[in-house]
Structure 1
Amino acid sequence: MAAGLDTVQPSLPYHEPDIVTILVQSSFLLLLNLINALFDRLLYCGLLGQVLVGIAWGTPGAKWLSIQVEQVVVQLGYIGLILLVYEGGLSTSFPSLKANLPLSSAVALTGIALPIALSYTLQGLLNATPLQAFAAGAALCSTSLGTTFTVLSSSGLSKTRLGVVLSSAAMMDDVVGLVMVQVISNLGNNSDNIGAVTIVRPVLVSLAFAVVIPLLCRYVVLPVTVRLTSYRKSHPDAVVSRSLMNHQTAFVTHTLLLIALVTASSYAGTSNLFAAYIAGATVSWWDSEVPHPSEHINTPPAQNTPSHHDEAPDQEQEARQTSARNVQPGISTKPQPETTGSAIYERYYHQAVSRILQPLFFASIGFSIPITRLFRASIVWRGIVYTVLMVLAKMACGLWLVRISLPFAKFQQLLYKYKPNIKMPSVTHFWQKHTNSNTENEPSGPPGHSAEPDTTTQQETVPSLRAREETSHTCSASKPVSIQPALILACAMVARGEIGFLISAVAESNGVFSPTSGDSSSESELFLVVTWAIVLCTVLGPLGVGLTVRRVKKMQDARRDGGRDVLGVWGVDSG
C-alpha cells in the first residue's frame, strides 16, 4: 500500500542533505577542477585527472557516490559532451576545412581501416568470431571528440591548420563509429538479424544529415538571410533589425537550432553528437559566409546630421564602406561581434561547460571502467598486446604529415597539389605577405637560390626563407623541419574515450562479445580486453599530446632566440 502511495505522491518531499553527502559531492566537484588545472599546467591533459577522480569516487573505486548520483553525473556529463562537440563545430573554418578536406579524409580513413584490420588478431588471441573482431575494431576506430577538443583548447591549437585537420578527421572517425553503434545494437549475437535495413539505415540517415543540412543552408537559409539583410538595411530602426542585434536573440536562435538537430538525429537513428557538430558548423557558416548588415548601418539616425567633428572625412569608415560594397551596398560578411556563435558560447555556455559539465563528463568515463576486473593475468597481457596494436594503428595517421620520399608520398603529393590556397595569418611577416601569391612562383631550388623581386624587404625576408619552405603547399621529398606536428596528430588520434566505451558497452549488452562456447567463465574476456585498450589509449593519447606540446613550447621559445619554426604551416592560424 505504501508503495502505491509513493507512486502517486503529488510532489517530492524536501529533505536537507546530510553533511557527509555535502562533503562528498562538493569535494568531488572541487577536486575535478583542481586536478584539471594542475594536469593542464604540467601536461596539457587535465582530463586524465578527471577520469581518475571518477574512478576513485565512483563505483569502480570507493563508491562514495550513490548509483543515483552517478546516473545524474552521466546525464549532465553527456550534455557537456554535446556542448563540447558543438563548440568544435563553432570553431570550424570553412575555407581551411575545404582546403584540407582531402588530407583530413586520408587521416580519417587510415584511423578507421587500420584498427579494424588489426582487430582481427583477436581471432588468434581470444578465439573471437569475425563479427566480434569487427565489433572490437569498431570500438577502437573511434577518436574521442571530447578529448580532442579539450586537448586542442588547452594546448592553444584549436584554430590552427593542424587543429582543423585533427578535429575534422576525428569527427569523420566518430561518425563512422557512431553509425556502427546503430548497426551493432541491431545485430546482437544472432547473425540472422543481419539485414540490409540494419546496416543501411544508420548509414543513410547520417549521410542525409551531412547532405540535407548543407543544402538547406545554401538554398533556404542563405536566400532568406539575404532578403532579411536587405530589409534591415532599409529599415535600421525596425523591431526586427534591433532584435537581431541583441545577443539574447542570437542565444535563443543558436540554442533552438542545437536542440532541434540533436532531437531530430536521435529520432532519425543517427548520432546526436554528429548533429551537435553540424549545428555548430552551421552557426559558424552563417557567421562567416553569409552577408550581414555592416556596422555603420546600425548606427542611430542622429549621426547623419553634420557636425563640426564630421567635417573631416573618416578614412576608416570609407574603407569599411568600400569593403562592404564589394559584397553588396551596406552589407558586411560578418555579423555584430557580440552575436557570433563563438561570442554567444563564451557568454552563456563556456563557464558552465568548463567548470561543471565537462569535468562531470570525464568523471563519468571513470565510472565505466571496471578497474577491479581488469587485473587477471590472462586479461592483462592480452589487453596490453591489443593496446599496442591499436596505438600503432592510430599513430600511423601521423604519417600523412611526414613528407617522405617513398611511393606513399606520391598519393600524399596529390592531396597537397589540389589543395587551394587560403589566406591564413602566419607566424612571420614573410608568410603573411605571400599567402595570396600563386604557388607557381615558389622557388624550385634549395634555400638561398631564390631571388625576391622586392629588394626593399631583403633584410626582413632572409631569415624567413626557411618559414616559406615550411609553409609551402607542395609536397617535397626533403626531410621535414620538425616531426612535432605529426606526433601531435598521431597522439591525439590515439585517444578513444567516450565513443569507444559506448560501442563496446553496446556490443557487450547486446551479446556480441559473448563467447560462442558454453564456457561462462570467459563471458566477458573480449569486453575486458577491449576495455583495456580503450582505457590505455585514452590515457596515453592525451599524455603524448601534452608532452609533445610542452616540448613544442620550449622549442618555440628557443626559436625566438634564432631557432627554427617548429610547427611551420601546421601552426598557422586558420581563422
Structure 2
Amino acid sequence: MASTLYEIARLWITFIALACGGKLGELVHAPLVGEIVVGLLLGPSGANFIPEPDGVVLLGNLGLCVLVMTGGLSIDVDALAHVGPVAIAIAVTGTLLPIALGCAFMTAAGYSPAVGVAAGTALSSTSIGMATNTMAAANALHTRIGSLVCVAAMIDDVLSLVILAVLGNVGGSSDDAGALTWAIGRPVMVSVAFVVVGAGAARVVPRVFAREWGWATRAGETLTKMKRDDVVVASMLTLTLGLVVACGAAGSTYLLGAFVGGYAFAAAPNAKDAWAKYDLLSARLASIFFLSVGMQIPLADLFDGAGAGLGIGYAVPAVLGKLATGAFVRDVGDAAVVGWAMVGRGELGFVMAREALDEGLFGDTPYVACVWALLIATLVSPVFMRRALERRKAAGGWAAGDVGAAEDGADAVEIGRHDVA
C-alpha cells in the first residue's frame, strides 16, 4: 500500500509540474516548450524523478495520435478549393527547402549527406496549432490569409507524415539499390493511397451523418437517445483506430492514419463541436506527449558545447527555410505573416528527429542539434508572427471582405488574384 501511495504521489507531482510548465510556456505562446522542459528535468537524464518513462511514452504516443487526428478534423474542407494551388506551393517549398538547407548545413559542419538529409527532415513540418492560435488571438483567422496559412500548414504536415514514413523504412533497409528503392517507394505509394481514401471518406462521411438521408432520418430518435454527438465521436475514434493500424501495417506511418481519420470527419455535421467537448482530455494527452519528448532528450548532451553550438547554428536554416515561403504572397505585410506562421514547429519535428536517432540515421549530437533548432524556431515564431500581424493591422488591417472568408468562401477565391503571386 505504501509503495502504491508513493507512486500516486509521484504521478500527481508530475502532472502538477507539467501543468505549471505549460502555463510558463504560454507566456511565450509556446506551452509545448514548457512541457518538454519539464520532461527533460524530471526524466532519466535529469532528476530521474521518473526513472522508467516507458508508461509515459506509451501514453504520450496515444496523445500524439489524438493530436494528429484533431489536426485532420480541424481542416476547413471548403477552403482547400479556394487556396489550394498557392497553399500547395507554400507547403512544398516549406517542406523541401528546410530539408535542403538543413542538409547543406550539416554537410558543411562535417557530417555525411545522409545525416544531413535525416536531420533536415526534422525541420520539414509546421505547427498548424500554433499558427491558428496566434491568428485567432489577432482576430485574423477567418481572413483570406488565415485560410491560406491553415491550408498550407495542413498540406505541409501531410507531406511531413509521408517523409516520416520513408524515414522509418530507410533506417532498416540494406545498401542494395533495389531494397532502398522499395523502402522509399512503398511508404510513398501507401501514403498516397491513404490520402486518396481520406479524400473519399471526407465526402462520404458527412452524407452518412446528414439528416437528409432517409435511414438517418428514421434513426433520428435513436440517435437522439444515444446522444448524436457521442455517436459521431465514437465513430471517428473507431475509424481512426482502424486507419492507424492499417496504415502502419501497410508500410506507412500510423500517424497518417490518425490524420486521415480526423480529416474524414472534418465536414461531418457537428463533428468539430462534438469533439470540442473532449478538448480538455485531448489537451492533457498532448501535454503528456511533449512531456515524453523531454524525457527522451539527453540532458547532458543538450548543454554540451558541441551539441548546443551546432543546434543554435542549425536554427538558422530551420527559420529561413520556412520564412522564405512568404515569397509566394505579394503583400509584404501578409508575406511576413505567412512566413513566420510557417516557422513554428510542432510535434512532428520532434517525432522525426527521434525516429532518425532510433533508426541509427544519426547520433546524439545531430539529434540534440535538431532539438535546439526546433525549440528555437518554436519560440521565435509566435513572437515575430504577432509583430507581423500588428504591423499589418497598423497598415490598415484586412478589408471588410476579408473577414469571414473561411466561412463565406467567395472572398477566399480572390487570393489568387490579389494577395498571392
TM-score normalized with structure 2 length: 0.82
Q: Which amino acid counterpart does residue 165 of structure 2 have in structure 1? A: Q
Q: Which has the larger radius of gyration?
A: 1
**Residue 550 of structure 1, CA deviation:** 6.9
Q: Which residue of 1 aligns with 2:282?
A: 353
In the alignment, the residues of structure 1 paired with residue 4 and residue 286 of structure 2 have an alpha-carbon distance, to the nearest angstrom, of 25
**Residue 364 of structure 1, CA deviation:** 1.7
Q: Which residue of 1 aligns with 2:261?
A: 279
Larger relative helix fraction: 2
**Residue 207 of structure 1, CA deviation:** 0.6
Q: What secondary structure is seen at the aligned counterpart in 1 of 2:176?
A: helix
**Residue 545 of structure 1, CA deviation:** 0.8
Q: Which residue of 1 aligns with 2:251?
A: 269
In the alignment, the residues of structure 1 paired with residue 241 and residue 375 of structure 2 have an alpha-carbon distance, to the nearest angstrom, of 29
Q: Which amino acid counterpart does residue 64 of structure 1 have in structure 2? A: F
Corresponding residue pairs, total: 405
Q: Which amino acid counterpart does residue 268 of structure 2 have in structure 1? A: W
Q: What secondary structure is seen at the aligned counterpart in 2 of 1:501?
A: helix
CA contact (8 A) 1:254 1:283 kept: yes
Q: How does 1:371-520 map to 2 (within 5 A)?
A: 371-403=299-331, 480=332, 483=333, 485-513=334-362
Structure 1 35/124 Cα, relative in aligned 2: closer, same or farther at 3 Å? closer
Q: What secondary structure is seen at the aligned counterpart in 2 of 1:140?
A: coil
Q: What secondary structure is seen at the aligned counterpart in 2 of 1:564?
A: coil
Q: Which amino acid counterpart does residue 45 of structure 1 have in structure 2? A: A
**Residue 345 of structure 1, CA deviation:** 0.9
Q: Which amino acid counterpart does residue 394 of structure 1 have in structure 2? A: K
In the alignment, the residues of structure 2 paired with residue 574 and residue 82 of structure 1 have an alpha-carbon distance, to the nearest angstrom, of 26
Q: Which residue of 2 aligns with 1:574?
A: 406
Structure 1 246/183 Cα, relative in aligned 2: closer, same or farther at 3 Å? closer
In the alignment, the residues of structure 2 paired with residue 226 and residue 565 of structure 1 have an alpha-carbon distance, to the nearest angstrom, of 38
**Residue 202 of structure 1, CA deviation:** 0.4
CA contact (8 A) 2:206 2:265 kept: no
Of 89, 103, 108 in structure 2, the residue corresponding to residue 120 of structure 1 is 103
**Residue 256 of structure 1, CA deviation:** 1.5
Q: What secondary structure is seen at the aligned counterpart in 1 of 2:125?
A: coil
Q: Does 1:544 pair with 2:393?
A: no
Q: What secondary structure is seen at the aligned counterpart in 1 of 2:297?
A: coil
In the alignment, the residues of structure 1 paired with residue 147 and residue 318 of structure 2 have an alpha-carbon distance, to the nearest angstrom, of 23
In the alignment, the residues of structure 2 paired with residue 38 and residue 156 of structure 1 have an alpha-carbon distance, to the nearest angstrom, of 24
Q: Does 1:25 pair with 2:11?
A: yes
CA contact (8 A) 1:85 1:146 kept: no
CA contact (8 A) 2:243 2:258 kept: yes
In the alignment, the residues of structure 2 paired with residue 105 and residue 506 of structure 1 have an alpha-carbon distance, to the nearest angstrom, of 26
In the alignment, the residues of structure 1 paired with residue 208 and residue 308 of structure 2 have an alpha-carbon distance, to the nearest angstrom, of 59
CA contact (8 A) 1:179 1:202 kept: yes
Of 25, 28, 42 in structure 2, the residue corresponding to residue 43 of structure 1 is 28
1:256-275 superposed Cα distances (whole Å, 9 cap, x missing partner): 12222222212222233322
In the alignment, the residues of structure 2 paired with residue 570 and residue 268 of structure 1 have an alpha-carbon distance, to the nearest angstrom, of 43
**Residue 571 of structure 1, CA deviation:** 6.3
CA contact (8 A) 2:344 2:381 kept: no
Q: What secondary structure is seen at the aligned counterpart in 2 of 1:17?
A: helix
Q: Which residue of 2 aligns with 1:249?
A: 231
Q: Which residue of 2 aligns with 1:424?
A: none
**Residue 352 of structure 1, CA deviation:** 1.3
CA contact (8 A) 1:265 1:271 kept: yes
Structure 1 146/259 Cα, relative in aligned 2: closer, same or farther at 3 Å? farther
Q: Which amino acid counterpart does residue 264 of structure 2 have in structure 1? A: T
In the alignment, the residues of structure 1 paired with residue 119 and residue 272 of structure 2 have an alpha-carbon distance, to the nearest angstrom, of 37
Q: Which residue of 1 aligns with 2:412?
A: none
Structure 1 139/229 Cα, relative in aligned 2: closer, same or farther at 3 Å? same
**Residue 66 of structure 1, CA deviation:** 2.2
In the alignment, the residues of structure 2 paired with residue 46 and residue 549 of structure 1 have an alpha-carbon distance, to the nearest angstrom, of 16
CA contact (8 A) 1:81 1:146 kept: no
In the alignment, the residues of structure 1 paired with residue 212 and residue 161 of structure 2 have an alpha-carbon distance, to the nearest angstrom, of 37
Q: How does 1:137-286 map to 2 (within 5 A)?
A: 137-144=120-127, 161-188=144-171, 190-192=174-176, 194-216=179-201, 218=203, 229-233=213-217, 235=218, 242=224, 246-286=228-268
**Residue 346 of structure 1, CA deviation:** 1.8
Structure 1 258/344 Cα, relative in aligned 2: closer, same or farther at 3 Å? same
CA contact (8 A) 2:69 2:259 kept: yes
Q: Which amino acid counterpart does residue 88 of structure 1 have in structure 2? A: G
Q: Which amino acid counterpart does residue 157 of structure 2 have in structure 1? A: D
In the alignment, the residues of structure 2 paired with residue 262 and residue 268 of structure 1 have an alpha-carbon distance, to the nearest angstrom, of 10
CA contact (8 A) 2:158 2:256 kept: yes
**Residue 97 of structure 1, CA deviation:** 1.9
In the alignment, the residues of structure 2 paired with residue 146 and residue 391 of structure 1 have an alpha-carbon distance, to the nearest angstrom, of 18
Q: Which residue of 2 aligns with 1:421?
A: none
Q: Which residue of 2 aligns with 1:564?
A: 396
**Residue 99 of structure 1, CA deviation:** 0.6
Instruction: Percent identity, please.
Output: 28
Q: Which residue of 2 aligns with 1:4?
A: none
Q: What secondary structure is seen at the aligned counterpart in 2 of 1:286?
A: coil
Q: What secondary structure is seen at the aligned counterpart in 1 of 2:122?
A: helix
Q: What secondary structure is seen at the aligned counterpart in 1 of 2:46?
A: coil
**Structure 1 regions of 5+ residues with no counterpart?**
1-13, 288-339, 404-479, 514-523
In the alignment, the residues of structure 2 paired with residue 27 and residue 156 of structure 1 have an alpha-carbon distance, to the nearest angstrom, of 37
Q: Which amino acid counterpart does residue 357 of structure 2 have in structure 1? A: E
